[in-house]
Amino acid sequence: MSFPAQKPADYAALSPEFNLREHLNGPIQCEGVIYGPTGRVASRFVADMHATWDGNIGTMTENFRYDSGATQHRCWTLTLGNDGSIKAEAPDVIGAGDGMARGPGVQLKYRIRLPEDSGGHVLDAVDWMYLVENGTIMNHSQFRKFGIKVAELVATMRQVKPA
């Protein structure tokens, strides 16, 4: 069943190791596209992100700029367990998201409420982030309502190195 059939354990023996405190740290540049239910590009975006850590607790802010001119801001609180588990909270996430990091892969599952101007729907989200050898993170996410895929996101995330 492809995307939904993946499990973090599938990536445990692979490298490089995705260390969230290292690879999601400091300023991060993100570019991506969102596909609608028909598979056509519905939106394009760039985002400036910034993450900081205090032990196993991280804060990551995201400032999105969409091709429509719309902007969006989100602030995540990430709590890492010693077993690779992740708890993720944000104002538009219902409850807390749960995730797991294994090898170069990170999976995060959560329920998100879209902004009112996007319909205000609550969607089930599954994010997969994959660390590649040069440090870039590839993000692939699917969003479902009543089990039906309604959107998909593909994005790159790269740490901004000081000049």
- Please report, for residues 21, 63, 78, 96, 132, the alpha-carbon distance to residue 88 in angstroms, rounded to integers and kept in the order given: 14, 17, 5, 6, 23
Banded pLDDT at 1 (limits 50, 70, 90)? low
* Continuous H helices in the chain: 20-23
Tens of pLDDT, residues 41-81 = 999 999 999 999 999 999 999 999 999 999 999 999 999 99
Q: What domains does the chain contain, in order, with CATH numbers?
A: 3-158 (2.40.128.20)
pLDDT of residue 66: 96
- Cα 129 to Cα 132: distance, rounded to the nearest angstrom: 10
Nearest 10 degrees: Cα torsion 157, 107, 11, 138: -20
pLDDT of residue 4: 79
2, pLDDT greater than 80: no
Average pLDDT over residues 79-103: 97
For the whole prediction, is pTM greater than 0.85?
yes
